[in-house]
Chains A and B, each alone.
Chain A
């Protein structure tokens, strides 16, 4: 019998092929842990991290960069959070656009583009989400990770069957344990997500934030879309912003935060800090149940045949434009809505204004694409 009969060679080759496949898959999987590249623009005066507000986060997957854009002139402090849900790219990219392109002329902005940093290190199982998507920026091809709705499950494995919100005791399904927007005000000795929420609450208090935005997206069939959700405190500012946005042909709905639904930014930031919170929603077909093929192009172009058919049939109440819902539209809406709230604030507080520069108009963003907002 020869030393290497044909079946042994075949087996070795198969083993080698399997090892190569594992190695490749493993490498791809580990790429999810590599940090996204954000290129601070000239408006950024310093960069801190969530760990500076809560040292417990140091060295964890949940620590995240905090960008300061300070004018040096008096005015309110505005916080913008992107990436609370890392599968909602418009919120994340709108925040990145501010870091890379905005200049603040009065007051200051604090931007956390990846509030749930841990959620950027995985995708949701069984969703077929792309691992990343690419855009041509002003100077190069930029690739960003597409994450999961909630924090990485390895953080506090396994999820409990029931998530009990601290401190209200409100009960939600177990996977909401990792949902940053159910975790506020957070807990210093709680789960990873509760610690992240705790750090963000501390940031809001320590930096004396006046106005705080949490940028989101939702599936086209969700009723609260193209909406501003706010705390009682923000009612007037949101109403003024909505009228301004409507004049620019960007209709929005106004929703008030229910006081008995706990853990959400628009409730707990408002109750637990002096800040006035606003949660902004755009429509995102990638998150929808009706969507067809889910690839990077759906995340960027927002064109889905199933949603188009549903829209044309007129039988479903969905927020979907026949031409698709590209990222440019969704990021453009977020940026306009933030500015509209700030413009209303300026009208009501002429003594302490916030002035921004460097954000193109909505029409320009639509014309030139999201990439034009990035370095």
Chain B
């Protein structure tokens, strides 16, 4: 009897000494932390699609197209969905300049708080060029990883940017294919 109690104590002791309390696999350290804050750079509705992808992957994520630095509280990873939409800006009630300022402030705050940042570009050609590329560049350059639907990279805008800045990039054929790299990194 005494022996059993002693054993139990030894086990408890070993358990308490064991580093970490959850038995996570070794590669977990490389994974991006959750919860995920999904925000926009350019107010395209692609944020909603990114939200759907995260939902399908059962990630702990919330969408805030107009997220501010304060919204980063308690966040593990900031997922920026880049692409410009005039309809979206109208829907959000902000100007292009205000949106640019907001995105800059959000990315700066994420860097200060050491929150990991990735960029998703899923809108293809429609979210490239002209007004979109200012947002695409801003978000991509602040990210540690890019996931881009190929039709948005026909001119190698993202892949050459990624090569220049040594940012890993996943090019996928379809939006739904983005689930694969997302599933791997989270």
Contacts and interface: CB of A to CB of B under 8 A. Distances in A.
B181 interface: no
Contact of A247 (B87, B125, B151, B174): B174
* Chain A interface, DSSP helix/strand/loop, else mixed: mixed
A49 interface: no
A224 B44 CA distance: 12
Interface string B48-64: 11011100000000000
A253 B124 CA distance: 9
Interface string B19-36: 000000000000000000
Contacts, number: 62
A246 B173 CA distance: 10
B99 interface: no
Given A246-B175, A247-B174, A235 B91 contact: no
B183 interface: no
B85 A255 contact: yes
B45 A256 contact: yes
Contacts of A255: 45, 85, 87-88
A239 B91 contact: no
A279 B159 CA distance: 34
A242 B91 contact: no
Contact of A258 (B51, B53, B87): B87
B25 to A, nearest CB: 29
Nearest to B46: A254
A260 interface: yes
B52 A239 contact: yes
Contacts of A115: none
Q: Say what secondary structure dominates the interface of chain B.
A: helix
Contacts of A261: 90
Interface in A114-157: none
B91 A243 contact: no
A259 B90 CA distance: 7
Nearest to A257: B91
Interface size class of chain B, counting residues whose CB lies under 8 Å from the partner chain: 20 to 34
B176 A247 contact: yes
B176 A254 contact: no
Interface string A216-253: 00000001100001001001101110110011000101
A229 B52 contact: no
Interface in A190-238: 223-224, 229, 232, 235-236, 238
B48 A239 contact: yes
B132 to A, nearest CB: 11
Interface of B: 44-46, 48-49, 51-53, 85, 87-88, 90-91, 93, 123-126, 129, 151, 174-176
Residue of B51, B85, B87, B93 with most partner-chain A CB within 10 A: B87
Chain A's interface size range is: 20 to 34
25 contacts: A223-B126, A224-B87, A229-B87, A236-B48, A236-B52, A239-B51, A240-B52, A243-B49, A243-B52, A243-B53, A243-B176, A246-B175, A247-B176, A251-B151, A253-B126, A254-B44, A254-B49, A255-B88, A256-B88, A256-B91, A257-B87, A258-B88, A259-B90, A260-B93, A317-B129
A149 B46 CA distance: 30
Contacts of B151: 251
A243 B88 contact: no
A256 B87 contact: yes
A326 B88 CA distance: 30
Nearest to B85: A255
A256 B46 CA distance: 10
Contacts of B176: 243, 246-247
The list of the 10 closest CB pairs from A to B, nearest first, reads: A258-B90, A239-B48, A254-B45, A239-B52, A256-B91, A235-B48, A239-B49, A256-B45, A255-B87, A258-B91
A235 B45 contact: yes
A255 B129 CA distance: 18
A320 to B, nearest CB: 13
A117 B179 CA distance: 45
Contacts of A232: 91
A240 B45 CA distance: 12
Nearest to A247: B176
A260 B90 CA distance: 7
Interface in A238-289: 238-240, 242-243, 246-247, 251, 253-261
A253 B88 contact: no
A257 to B, nearest CB: 7
B91 A246 contact: no
Contact of B124 (A236, A247, A251): A251
